[in-house]
Structure 1
């Protein structure tokens, strides 16, 4: 039943389409001629109004010579003059109901409301009971509307010649429609004949692509067509299976490689991105522009160079934050039918960290370990060479050896702190405590030194919300900052410690009146093993690692270190950590 209905619709719909086309053409033709007739009559009435306008006003007032106006009107014409409020002041018909206001008339509304220079409408006159064409124009003096002139006459309609031409057009549309239908059915009958045979075969091929289709008997004149169709189906099926296998292999590699892969189109929009790429940049794949998807300046600069130059390029980028990454990015241009860009990302964070740690260790540790080791070895040899029999010298040398050994121990501890990575902190620093408890504990730790140096220490804690920080990491930060303030502030100096917060951050600040740091030294103060040569001497006990440790652990907590200092006046250190 459904199949029969579809066949009927196949023949009925073209008939409906041709009839609709015929009707649409007829209606359009009728509308076109009617519009032309209206425009011609409207322009004629508008011209007559233009001739009357100079005689209808003087010095901003309406002046009407009714007898003269009556004499100028033809039998089929009607002139109406209205004031600025659309009230009739003159009507050439002199009908009893030709009084009152006419602000609701379409041609008048076009003047008053829409501000047009000419208003018109075609309708039956309520006054004289005939279809009239109304044309209205404003009477303006010094930019002010003082009245409206409305001219109307009986709508003339189509002339005999236009009406005859219109009928010929309708006849032409009808003949063309019949001819189109005849041609359509002839072509349809001829073209559907081979489809009657091949359509079931194509359906079966689509349903069972793994089965090779057999050639069926067909009219001789269509045999070549059927043979070509069979060959095309065989080739298409073979290519489909090959492509399916290749896509499966490619998808497996794409998702399981340990490197990041992404593809951009010629305009820089994301086409593909594997899981590794999503994890590296903490994004979920979307067809966004690369600048909006990566949101990383160095990465976007590399891709921009690739797209502008359309040449292969590679470089390294550094992703900062809690998950700090060093990435090697290789970008290639893929030219086929369209230009695409392929990106390969290697995570070389481990390699770079090992290189940096190895370099720092070799260049710095040898120097820092040499001094205490030399002292220990030197004084030990002196004791063994006979000084051990001198009790006073023995005590003095052993005290020096003990001090240098402690110094060496603390140096090794600091080095181990610096070597701790983000992963180490996450695994071991699982205890969360309040920051004020750590600050108060560290101030108490240095109570003896504070009293010895008669330092004025103030602690201000203003935390409105419950904030918890990783115990180990924050304790190291607080210890080193407070220790520096105590050590490098001269006797009777002042140290201000504060803990505050805003909507998003915890702010830890330590300000002292100590020796301060020069602007030149501030450029390198966070380098490992760097010590200020003049203001902070080695005899203060520093290893040159304190501020490096502070910066290292602050970055592990996704925070920021700000240091301000004036030589001879003091130092201000602020730690800003996200809540």
Structure 2
């Protein structure tokens, strides 16, 4: 209550008291007149309060408050001005909301708003075209009840939205969609769905081209390598001037053969989403075999390779693919670790799942290179990679194998201190020996 209201109330009380005293002087009943005057004054205030309460309870829309006098007139006028100001603010907010909804409705990408439990709150027209949502019957429905693809359900329930998800459209298998989910506010979800059919087709054309070219090159390369091997087996009949050239040709032919094999393996990995030969793999025995191969690769460089494994922990998946991924990590450690360096391979599990780490005391990798290490043909040092005979596809193969086994790769490296490559597998891929 401001100063004017307080002064007005005091004036009214003084006037009432003066009138009561005057009337008491006439009648000679000061006390009763004063009590009746104050009671009437309070009754009038109570009547005004009841009018205000009735208006607040029964008002409709922007109905104005009732008329009032004196102090209550000022109160009701203030409420009226607050009401008008609130109407203007609500009008501006509604205009902003309408513009946002109109702009999102015009987008070709689907925009879906979900509450913290994943129930549909709002979506634009594109969501109806791409996902088949229907207005208004789908409002309040659980999103996983409408998009029933197991990959989407796993993606939504795992709450790990760092990477987008690509799936075919539930209303048209020829459309390829990319799902992005962002958390905001009180753990609500904003889902953006983009039509990437053309990009997917271009990517598929690239994959088919690489696979077909790699396959077609195998035959002539095999013929060339065969003749080179025959010539080198009969080196006494070859002009000595050609010996070094033939040896280099055979070496480069071997590198090209490895490159084609890796390209064909990548094409095979990309052809399907999950390995068909999904059986429990004895990882401890697999790593022991890889360790023996790594020791043979090390040869006279005398690397110290140690193995720490849980013999009771198996992994569901393809043994061939897992061997390719794990051997790539171990062989890379051998190639890029100086002579007599240490390499430690560990296989263990915890509440987050199963894990394989390959730790070396090699040269290390600069932080700026780490995000791109799993890209095809990406080289930290092209000259060093050339000397070690790498194809630049090893870590790309590791990435695709892990994706097919619902896993991911973490890389920690420091220059001069070595690197640690860790594969993380979810609990659903784990199998205990004897189960």
Structure 1 residues 536 and 564, CA, compared in 2 at 3 Å: closer, same or farther?
Answer: farther
From 523, 526, 532, the counterpart of 2:371: 523
1:232-243 aligned within 5 A? none
CA contact (8 A) 2:281 2:316 kept: yes
CA 1:454–1:283 in 2, change beyond 3 Å: closer, same or farther?
closer
Alignment of 1:327 with 2:177, yes or no, is yes
How many correspondences in the alignment?
Answer: 269
- 1:263 equivalent to 2:134? Answer yes
Is residue 512 from structure 1 mapped to residue 383 from structure 2 by the alignment? no
The whole-number CA distance in structure 2 between the counterparts of 1:293 and 1:557 is 18
Distance in 2 (alpha carbons) for counterparts of 1:293 and 1:461 = 31
Tell me by how many angstroms 1:410 deviates: 0.8
Query: Are the equivalent residues in 2 in contact too, given 1:489–1:513 (CA < 8 A)?
Result: yes
Tell me, in whole angstroms, the C-alpha distance in 2 between the residues paired with 1:294 and 1:261: 24
Displacement of 1:570 in angstroms is 1.2
| Alpha carbons 1:281, 1:294 under 8 Å: kept | no
Structure 2: distance between partners of 1:576 and 1:293: 18
Match of 1:476 among 311, 324, 342: 324
Q: Which residue of 1 aligns with 2:148?
A: 278
- CA drift at 1:552: 1.1
Calculate the aligned-residue CA RMSD, in Å: 4.6
Q: 1:576 aligns with which of 409, 424, 428?
A: 424
- Once the 2 structures are TM-superposed, how far is the Cα of residue 430 of structure 1 from its aligned partner? 3.9
SS at match of 2:306: strand
Of 305, 312, 318, 1:457 maps to 305
Q: Would the aligned equivalents of 2:356 and 2:424 in 1 still touch at CA under 8 Å?
A: yes
* Bigger Rg, structure 1 or 2: 1
1:559 equivalent in structure 2: 407
Corresponding residue of 1:436: 284
How far has the Cα of 1:479 moved from its partner? 1.1
2:207 matches 1:356? no
The DSSP-based 3-state class of the residue aligned with 1:415 is helix
User: Conserved in 1, the CA contact under 8 Å of 2:269 and 2:401?
Assistant: no
The unaligned stretches of length 5 or more in structure 2 are: 1-128, 168-174, 180-190, 431-435
SS state of the match for residue 270, structure 1?
coil
Instruction: Report the equivalent of 1:88.
Output: none
Structure 1: how far apart are the matches of 2:297 and 2:200?
38
- Counterpart in 2 of 1:488? 336
Q: 1:389 to 1:445 in 2, by over 3 A?
A: closer
Number of the residue aligned with 2:266: 418
Question: Residues 458 and 365 of structure 1: is their aligned pair in 2 closer, same or farther, counting only changes over 3 Å?
Answer: farther
Cα distance in 1, alignment partners of residues 160 and 301 from structure 2: 49
Q: CA deviation at 1:544?
A: 0.7
With over 3 angstroms needed to count, the CA separation of the structure-2 counterparts of 1:521 and 1:363, relative to structure 1, is farther
Task: Say yes or no: does 1:398 pair with 2:266.
Answer: no
Unaligned runs of 5+ in 1: 1-257, 285-291, 299-316, 330-342
Deviation at 1:261, TM superposition (A): 1.1
3-state SS, counterpart of residue 520 of structure 1: helix
More helix by share: 2
| Cα contact 2:207–2:267 (8 A) shared by 1 | no
Shift of 1:505: 1.1
What is the TM-score of this pair, normalised by structure 1? 0.39
Per the TM alignment, residue 283 of structure 1 is displaced from its structure 2 partner at its CA by 5.3
Distance (whole Å) between structure 2 residues aligned to residue 571 and residue 444 of structure 1: 21
8 Å Cα contact 2:270/2:400 also seen in 1:
no
- 1:115-514 to 2 correspondence within 5 Å? 260-265=131-136, 269-270=140-141, 277-279=147-149, 282=152, 318-319=164-165, 326-327=176-177, 352-359=199-206, 391-421=239-269, 424=272, 426=274, 428-514=276-362
* Structure 1 pair 359–466 and aligned structure 2 pair: CA distance change class (3 A): closer
Q: Structure 2-normalised TM-score?
A: 0.51
Per the TM alignment, residue 465 of structure 1 is displaced from its structure 2 partner at its CA by 4.5
* Distance in 2, Cα, partners of 1:549 & 1:346: 27
CA distance in 1, matches of 2:278, 2:151: 26
Residue 523 of structure 1: how far off its partner (Å): 2.6
Q: Report deviation, 1:365.
A: 11
Contact 1:455–1:493 (Cα < 8 Å) also in 2: yes
* Distance (whole Å) between structure 2 residues aligned to residue 432 and residue 271 of structure 1: 35
Q: Is the CA contact (8 Å cut-off) linking 1:524 and 1:530 kept in structure 2? A: yes
Q: Equivalents in 1 of 2:143, 2:351: separation in Å?
A: 38
Alpha carbons of structure 1 residues 417 and 402: separation in structure 2 relative to 1, 3 Å:
same
Counterpart-to-counterpart distance in 2, 1:347 and 1:293: 23
Structure 1 residues 537 and 490, CA, compared in 2 at 3 Å: closer, same or farther?
same
Relative contact order, higher structure (CA 8 A, sep 6+):
2
Residue 260 of structure 1 contacts residue 274 of structure 1 at CA under 8 Å; is this kept in 2? no
